[in-house]
Amino acid sequence: MSQAKQLRLIVTFPTTTEAIFMEKTCRGSQLPGRLIPVPRSISASCGMAWCAPTEAREALEQAVQAHGITVEGWYYVMI
């Protein structure tokens, strides 16, 4: 039943290592978000994605660029 569905920014990565690096980077820079399994609406494959408030996109894009993190895609998903 019960999960609170809201529009979230989902960032996917080509590798799990990259996703874990994203988590470390965001924790270090106090950027919002958390790792979750990639939502089924994006991909059926097994992987981890960064899930964050939609308004964090600009800050996350800057962090991704500054740290050379390879992103596969940016999505907006109701979660």
Partner 1 sequence: MENHVLVNAMGEACPMPVVKATQALREMTEAGVLEVLVDNEIAVQNLTRMGAGKGYAVQAEKQGDAKYSVRILVNTPPTEAAPAPEPACVPDARGDMVVAVGSSTMGQGNDELGATLMKGFLFAVSQLPKLPKTILFYNGGAKLTTEGSASLEDLKKLEAQGVEILTCGTCLNYYGLTEKLAVGGVTNMYAIVEKLAAASHVIRP
Q: Which two tokens stand for residue 66?
A: 């500054």
Under the criterion CB under 8 A, does residue 59 sit at the interface with partner 1?
A: no
Under the criterion CB under 8 A, does residue 29 sit at the interface with partner 1?
A: no
Under the criterion CB under 8 A, does residue 3 sit at the interface with partner 1?
A: yes
**How many residues in the chain?**
79
Beta carbons within 8 Å of 55's beta carbon, 6+ residues apart: none
**Within a 10 A sphere around the Cβ of 37, how many other Cβ atoms?**
10
Closest contact distance (angstroms) between CB of 34 and partner 1 is 7
Binding footprint of partner 1 on the chain (CB under 8 A): 1-7, 16, 19-20, 23, 34-37, 48
